[in-house]
C-alpha cells in the first residue's frame, strides 16, 4: 500500500500504487468482513454497485478466498441498477453475474437482483418490499437510530462527477429521507432510468467502501475527501454525502485517483 491514514471526517484512506494492489487489498477487506459477520450474525449482507468496482472484486474468485469464504452465508443486493434487461450490457446485475457471482457458490435464493420486467417505479417498490421482509427477520440488520436497514457492507464506485450508486449531483433523490429505495428517470449518465438506494440506507450501513481508480476521478476524490473549497453545497458532490452514522467508511484509491490529494512529508495524504 502506498499510504494509509484517516481523513478529517474520520474515514479511512487506502491508497495503492496500482489497481492490482488495490484489488488484492479489497479482496482481503471483503473476505475479513465476511468472516467477522458470519461469526457474529450467521450471515453477511453485501450490496454491490456496477462500473469498474466489479472487476476489482475479481481476487475474491481466486485462491484462497474461493475456498475460505463461506459463500453460502452471503446475501447479495445492489446499491443501484440500470433499468435494462438482465442480459443487457448496461445491467449491473449482468456485470456482477459474469465477473463474480457465476464464479463463486452463492445460493441463487440469496441473490436479490432488481426486477427488469416492471416499470422503474414498480421495481423500486418491489425491491424495497423484499428488503423490508429481510429486515423483519433480521437477515439484514437494522439501524437503532432510524429503523433503516443496516447492510453489513455497501460497496460503491464513484463517477468522475462524484455520483455514487445512482445518486447524481444536485438530483432531488439526494434529499429523500423516508424512502429506502427510489428511482430516477433522468440520469445524466445513460441509461436514464435507474433504481437506487437512498442516502439514509447508505449511511446506515455498518461498512461502506468507496472504490475509485484512474486520473479522471482525481478531482472528485479530492473534493470528497479534502474539502469543497468553502462551498457548502454538498449535493454538488454526492460522494461527500456518504457519511455512515455509526458505521465505517473506507476509501480504496489507486495513486492516479489520489493524485489531487496533497501528500505530506511522511508520505501520508494531507487530507488525512
Ligand atoms: O453508472 C454507474 O456508475 C458508477 C461509477 O462507475 P465507474 O465505472 O466510473 O466506476 C457505479 O458505481 C454505479 O453503480 C453505476 O450504476
Where does the chain have alpha helices with state H?
A: 19-41, 65-68, 92-99, 120-136, 199-202, 218-225
Cα of 54 to ligand 1 centre, how many Å? 10
Cα of 66 to ligand 1 centre, how many Å? 25
- In sequence order, what are the beta bridge partners of 15? 3, 253
What is residue 249's three-state secondary structure? strand
DSSP 267: S
Q: Which of 80, 171, 202 to mutate to test the pocket of ligand 1 (most atoms within 8 A of CB)?
A: 80
Nearest to 217 by CA among 269, 177, 256, 169: 256
CA-nearest residue for atom 6, ligand 1, is 51
pLDDT digits (tens, 9 = 90+) for 18-35: 999 999 999 999 999 999
Ligand 1 atom at minimal distance to the Cα of residue 164 = 12
Cα of 162 to ligand 1 centre, how many Å? 10
What is residue 125's three-state secondary structure? helix
From the CB of 103, is ligand 1 less than 6 Å away? no
Any idea what the Cα angle at residue 15 is, between residues 12 and 19, rounded to 5°?
Answer: 130
Ligand 1 atom at minimal distance to the Cα of residue 158 = 5
Residue 41 clears pLDDT 70, i.e. is over it: yes
From the CB of 7, is ligand 1 less than 6 Å away? no
Contact 12, 6 (CB under 8 A): yes
Residue 63 clears pLDDT 80, i.e. is over it: yes
Walk me through the domains of the chain, giving residue ranges and CATH numbers: 11-254 (3.40.50.1360)
Q: Which of 159, 182, 184, 257 to mutate to test the pocket of ligand 1 (most atoms within 8 A of CB)?
A: 159
From the CB of 80, is ligand 1 less than 6 Å away? yes
User: How far, in Å, CA of 173 to CA of 196, rounded?
Assistant: 9
Q: Which of 49, 54, 167 to mutate to test the pocket of ligand 1 (most atoms within 8 A of CB)?
A: 49
- The CA distances from residue 104 to 74, 110, 154, 198, in Å, are 11, 13, 19, 28
Model-level ipTM above the cut of 0.95: yes
pLDDT digits (tens, 9 = 90+) for 215-271: 999 999 999 998 766 666 899 999 999 999 999 999 999 999 999 997 543 444 554
Report residue 136: phi and psi, to 5°. Answer: -55, -40
Cα of 225 to ligand 1 centre, how many Å? 18
Cα of 79 to ligand 1 centre, how many Å? 10
Report residue 221: phi and psi, to 5°. Answer: -60, -45
Give, for 52, the enclosing helix (H) or strand (E): none
pLDDT digits (tens, 9 = 90+) for 3-14: 888 887 889 999
pLDDT digits (tens, 9 = 90+) for 171-218: 999 999 999 999 999 999 999 999 999 999 999 999 999 999 999 999
SS3 content of the chain, % helix, strand, coil (to 5): 35, 20, 45
From the CB of 125, is ligand 1 less than 6 Å away? no
Q: What pLDDT shows up at residue 263? A: 52
From the CB of 90, is ligand 1 less than 6 Å away? no
Q: What pLDDT shows up at residue 10? A: 86
Cα of 264 to ligand 1 centre, how many Å? 30
pLDDT digits (tens, 9 = 90+) for 71-128: 999 999 999 999 999 999 999 999 999 999 999 999 999 999 999 999 999 999 999 9
Cα of 55 to ligand 1 centre, how many Å? 12
Q: Please enumerate in sequence order all residues whose Cβ is within 8 A of that of 250, keeping only pairs 6 or more positions apart, or say none.
A: 11, 12, 13, 14, 29, 207, 208, 209, 210
Amino acid at each position: 500500500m502506498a499510504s494509509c491514514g484517516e481523513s478529517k471526517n474520520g474515514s479511512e484512506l487506502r491508497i495503492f500504487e496500482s489497481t492490482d494492489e488495490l484489488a488484492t487489498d479489497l479482496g482481503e477487506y471483503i473476505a475479513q468482513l465476511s468472516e467477522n459477520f458470519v461469526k457474529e450474525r450467521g450471515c453477511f449482507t453485501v450490496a454491490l454497485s456496477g462500473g469498474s468496482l466489479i472487476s476489482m472484486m475479481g481476487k475474491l474468485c481466486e485462491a484462497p478466498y474461493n475456498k475460505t469464504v463461506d459463500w453460502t452465508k452471503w446475501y447479495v443486493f445492489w446499491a443501484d441498477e440500470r433499468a435494462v434487461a438482465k442480459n443487457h450490457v448496461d445491467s449491473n446485475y449482468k456485470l456482477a453475474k459474469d465477473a463474480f457471482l457465476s464464479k463463486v457458490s452463492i445460493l441463487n435464493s440469496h441473490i436479490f437482483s432488481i426486477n427488469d420486467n416492471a416499470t422503474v417505479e414498480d421495481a423500486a417498490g418491489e425491491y424495497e418490499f423484499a428488503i423490508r421482509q429481510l429486515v423483519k427477520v433480521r437477515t439484514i440488520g437494522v439501524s437503532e437510530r432510524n429503523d433503516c436497514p443496516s447492510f453489513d457492507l455497501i460497496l460503491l464506485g464513484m463517477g468522475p462527477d462524484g455520483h455514487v450508486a445512482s445518486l447524481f449531483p444536485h438530483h432531488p433523490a439526494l434529499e429523500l429521507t423516508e424512502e429506502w429505495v427510489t428511482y430516477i428517470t433522468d440520469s445524466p449518465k445513460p441509461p436514464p432510468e435507474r433504481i437506487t438506494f437512498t442516502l439514509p440506507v447508505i449511511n446506515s450501513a455498518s461498512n461502506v467502501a468507496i472504490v475509485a481508480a484512474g486520473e479522471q476521478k482525481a478531482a472528485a476524490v479530492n473534493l470528497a475527501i479534502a474539502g469543497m473549497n468553502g462551498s457548502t453545497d454538498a449535493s454538488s458532490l454526492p460522494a461527500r454525502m456518504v457519511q455512515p452514522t455509526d458505521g465505517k467508511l473506507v476509501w480504496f484509491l489507486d495513486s492516479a485517483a489520489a493524485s489531487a490529494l496533497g501528500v505530506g512529508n511522511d508520505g501520508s495524504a494531507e487530507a488525512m
